[in-house]
Amino acid sequence: TNDNNARFSAVIMAGGFGSRLAPMTNSRPKPLLPVFNRSVFERILDLLAENGFNCAAVTTMYLPEQIEAIKHSRINLSFFRESEPKGSAGAVRALAELLDEPVLIISGDAVCEFDLKKQIENHKQKKRQATILLTKTKKPQEFGTVLVDKSTNRIMRFMEKPSWTDTVSNQINTGVYILGKSVIEMIPDNVFFDFGRDLFPLMMKKGVPIYGEEAEGFWCDIGSFGDFYDCNMRFSDNKSIFGIDCTISENAKIESSILFEGVSVGSSVINNSILCEGVSVGDGCVIPDGCVIAANCKIGDSAVLSAGVRIAHNIKIGKGTRIMGNVFLSSARHLFGDEGINGIYGSEIDGELCFKLGQGLTSFGKPAKIGVMNDGSETADLLSDTIKVGVRSAGGILHDFENGFNELAAFAAYEYSLDCCVFVAADSSGRENGISIKMYEKNGVGLCREKQRKAESSMRERMSAPKTIFAPRTLEGEERAKFRYCKYLQEMTGPLGGVSVSVFGKNEQSNFFKSNAEVLGAEVSLVDDLKKADGDAFVFNSESLSALTSEYLDLDFWQLFMLAAQSGGRKDLYLPQSTPEFVENYLSSEGINLFFYNDSESEERIRAFETHFYTDKILLALLVCRFLHENTIMLDEARQFLPQYYLKSVVVDIEDDDRADTIGTLAAECEDCSRGVRLRDDKGSYSVFPRAEGGFRVFAEALSSELAEELCDIAEKKIKGEK
């Protein structure tokens, strides 16, 4: 609805689904979630009124009738309902003829207390076309981060919801924009277009300046259960909040909880939990920390929930029931670490999670092609079977592979053009009941951040029954993954006549190397003691590859990589941003072009399989043999050609709440953050990357092991704020 003569200097974006907050948002849109008994949307209207606005345009889509029913005493509202998603920028472009200049764009689902009037005046005074209001956060991986030139406030770089590894700033985009008419006109008509993913990158590409201003005042996105809960507790001073028409027994014990309207509670105990509208809790129930119970659920007498349980709307929990896990989904937030999913079977990893993971991975395609492989251990076999059931139950096409190893799973993703190949294995660290679940895209590397988030989001949703349940695909004969993998290794390597090496390692990788190298003409002896090695020896362990020369000198992974990279006359390499500088400098001097990728989707990442020997240590060892064959030398002589640098890597643990501020401080000292935070010292250089699991990973490189050790100490002190 709209007065045709109205013009708007403010647009409120209120059309999102809020799927990360399901089940709370199953019955109401995210902007109408209550914060201290007033909806987020109404709080935004209050903010606009306090800053001199008297009217606003509101875009709606999900459960629009509920938002369109809201009225405000000081703001006239006109609603514009989207029949299909246009994207945040596309929705604003549809209103272009109705907008004043400049126009304020603000999210309707974030609590905000900024001085908007001050920011708009600053924007006008400096004659800008685009200003984004920023704030600092301790959780940058949940938002779009921004790197700003401190002298001009011009934005130099955006990173949309980066992984911790890619994080270089703790300043984030709040979704509050002040834009001129020329910027609005850059948005194409009738095309799905997003501010963060489309418009701002387009402006950066065209050299149109975008400025970032860090606004003073409180801001909270309420994008997770924890954020929603913490935001409410901030306003209530950590006291329980009761919506209208709640009925609470005088014998109930309710601590620091949020009860929406119409909740009834008998003589029960509720701690630090969220109960949505219409929930009924009987007598003798126990609802401990972190539970979320969706609208109109009925919790029978003496029911006991475990901490952190989520229950979907309209669910009835019977009398005396013990609820040990989520009734309808796994909480998939922060599921992925730097190396996939790792944990203890029966604790962090269980059958429910694996089933939901299988379902979540099917969001990658229509239908998605998902491969599943395991290492043959009993627990890994059991959990991989559960993933397979999840894939098929959600309509995915399952490729059921034979037992294997990481390199084989990564190859299978590429060879069979899969949307994802999952590899489940016993944890190589030797932890009792430890499980590792790695997932590979068809480029042979782990899932990009966008796919991780897509899987996590799908795991939180209730899956509808698929139209078709596909029969699993099993492979036999020359179609088998191991057969094709051997053929690939041999084609990529070529003849190795005259090469003689030993191999140490009791695993499939060492066996595959030996058998394929021998087919190609090399002489290979398998040894159980490196002292028995005759000449050069490769050492395969569960996670890496190294070598020992005939003179008992070590070659580490990167030294071997530099040799392999020079085999076969290759010109281009695609590598992760953490690649050491001395590797880059040396290979560049040899006429090889290096292109780098991070955890986000990019053209460089898509082409990563062209440098598959970075992640495949069997192929890496074979290509080192090819280099030796092409140059008729042994590792002792080859080692002399390489730069003599020393690498050291350490993990520095700090409090999770300090990580974002720390990386922001370090980034301010970095001249170029395009490949993460890399700092220099007269002793050498070191890179600092936040870890998904917590803390930081430091990579130091120097001319001696002692200097590399000193650099790690310097980095640790900087990270911990010590002098």
pLDDT tens digits for 201-215?
A: 999 999 999 999 999
The residue assigned the tokens 């409090």 is 655
Same domain, 208 and 80: yes
pLDDT in tens, 600-628: 999 999 999 999 999 999 999 999 999 99
- pLDDT score for 90: 94
In this structure, how many other beta carbons lie within 10 angstroms of the beta carbon of residue 347?
A: 9
Same domain, 201 and 96: yes
Pick the closest to residue 436 from 517, 513, 348, 504 (CA basis): 348
CATH of the domain at 248: 2.160.10.10
Residue 723 has pLDDT above 80, yes or no: no
Same domain, 20 and 102: yes
Overall domain count for the chain: 5
pLDDT in tens, 648-685: 999 999 988 899 999 999 999 988 888 889 999 899 99
pLDDT in tens, 485-507: 999 999 999 999 889 999 998 88
Q: What is the model's pTM?
A: 0.72
Q: What percent of the chain has pLDDT over 90?
A: 77
Are 87 and 193 in contact by the 8 Å Cβ rule? The answer is yes
Pick the closest to residue 259 from 314, 297, 213, 315 (CA basis): 297
Please enumerate in sequence order all residues whose Cβ is within 8 A of that of 574, keeping only pairs 6 or more positions apart, or say none.
595, 596, 597, 604, 605, 607, 608, 610, 611
Query: What totals of helices (H) and strands (E) does the chain contain, helices first?
Result: 20, 45
- DSSP string of 618-661, one letter each residue: HHHHHHHHHHHHHHT--HHHHHHTS---EEEEEEE---HHHHHH
Instruction: Return the structure tokens found at 327.
Output: 């009734």
**Would residue 121 count as lying in a domain?**
yes
Please enumerate in sequence order all residues whose Cβ is within 8 A of that of 61, keeping only pairs 6 or more positions apart, or say none.
15, 16, 81, 82, 85
Same domain, 300 and 399: no
pLDDT in tens, 248-292: 999 999 999 999 999 999 999 999 999 999 999 999 999 999 999
Question: At residue 233, what are phi and psi to the nearest 5 degrees?
Answer: -65, -30
Half-sphere exposure of 650 (CA within 13 A, CB side): 17
Domain boundary among 323, 351, 376: 323
Domain boundary among 417, 452, 475: 475
Are 88 and 144 in contact by the 8 Å Cβ rule? The answer is no
CA diameter of the chain: 89
Same domain, 538 and 607: yes
What average pLDDT does the segment 6-31 reach? Answer: 88
Rounded CA gap, 260 and 35, in Å? 10
Same domain, 319 and 346: no
What average pLDDT does the segment 410-420 reach? Answer: 97
If residue 13 lies in a helix (H) or strand (E), which one and from where to where?
Answer: strand 8-14
**Would residue 335 count as lying in a domain?**
no
Rounded CA gap, 2 and 600, in Å? 40
CATH of the domain at 382: 3.40.120.10
pLDDT in tens, 524-571: 999 888 888 888 999 998 778 999 998 889 999 999 999 999 999 999
Alpha-carbon torsion, ordered 223, 227, 232, 236, to 10 deg:
-160
**Would residue 329 count as lying in a domain?**
no
Question: At residue 646, what are phi and psi to the nearest 5 degrees?
Answer: -120, 135
Measure Cα distances from 235 to 18, 34, 228, 523, 708 in Å: 22, 11, 11, 73, 49
Rounded CA gap, 189 and 208, in Å? 20
**Would residue 89 count as lying in a domain?**
yes
3-state secondary structure at position 671:
coil
Same domain, 292 and 145: no
Same domain, 558 and 664: no
Residue 5 has pLDDT above 70, yes or no: no
If residue 518 lies in a helix (H) or strand (E), which one and from where to where?
Answer: helix 508-519
- DSSP string of 330-372, one letter each residue: ---TT--BTTBEEEEBTTTB-HHHHHHHHHHHGGGSTT-EEEE
Please work out, in degrees rounded to the nearest 5, the angle formed at the alpha carbon of residue 201 by the alpha carbons of 141 and 192. Answer: 90
In angstroms and rounded to an integer, the radius of gyration of the C-alpha atoms of the chain is: 28
Q: 106 - beta bridge partners?
A: 12
Helices 656-668 and 705-720, axial angle in degrees (round to 10) = 110
**Would residue 35 count as lying in a domain?**
yes
- pLDDT score for 694: 86
Please enumerate in sequence order all residues whose Cβ is within 8 A of that of 633, keeping only pairs 6 or more positions apart, or say none.
none
**Would residue 373 count as lying in a domain?**
yes
What average pLDDT does the segment 582-603 reach? Answer: 95
**Which residues span the domain enclosing 695?**
646-720
Identity at 639, one-letter amino acid code: R
Which pLDDT band holds residue 142 (cuts at 50, 70, 90)?
confident
Measure Cα distances from 563 to 115, 557, 630, 665 in Å: 58, 10, 11, 37
**Would residue 3 count as lying in a domain?**
no
What average pLDDT does the segment 705-719 reach? Answer: 94
Same domain, 19 and 150: yes
Please enumerate in sequence order all residues whose Cβ is within 8 A of that of 663, keeping only pairs 6 or more positions apart, or say none.
140, 167, 168, 169, 170, 677, 688, 690, 696
- pLDDT score for 327: 57
Same domain, 345 and 469: yes
Same domain, 352 and 453: yes
pLDDT, averaged across the chain: 92
3-state secondary structure at position 596:
strand
Q: What percent of the chain has pLDDT over 70?
A: 97
Given the DSSP bridges, would you call strands 397-400 and 369-374 parallel, antiparallel or unpaired?
parallel
Domain boundary among 266, 297, 323: 323
- pLDDT score for 328: 47
Are 420 and 371 in contact by the 8 Å Cβ rule? The answer is yes
pLDDT in tens, 368-388: 999 999 999 999 999 999 999
Q: 161 - beta bridge partners?
A: none
* Lowest pLDDT segment from 67-71, 142-146, 398-402: 142-146
- pLDDT score for 429: 67
**Would residue 519 count as lying in a domain?**
yes
Are 624 and 563 in contact by the 8 Å Cβ rule? The answer is yes
Same domain, 70 and 108: yes
Question: At residue 713, what are phi and psi to the nearest 5 degrees?
Answer: -65, -40
Rounded CA gap, 611 and 626, in Å? 15
Instruction: Return the structure tokens found at 324.
Output: 């040990």
3-state secondary structure at position 691:
coil
Are 37 and 7 in contact by the 8 Å Cβ rule? The answer is no
pLDDT in tens, 572-581: 999 999 999 9
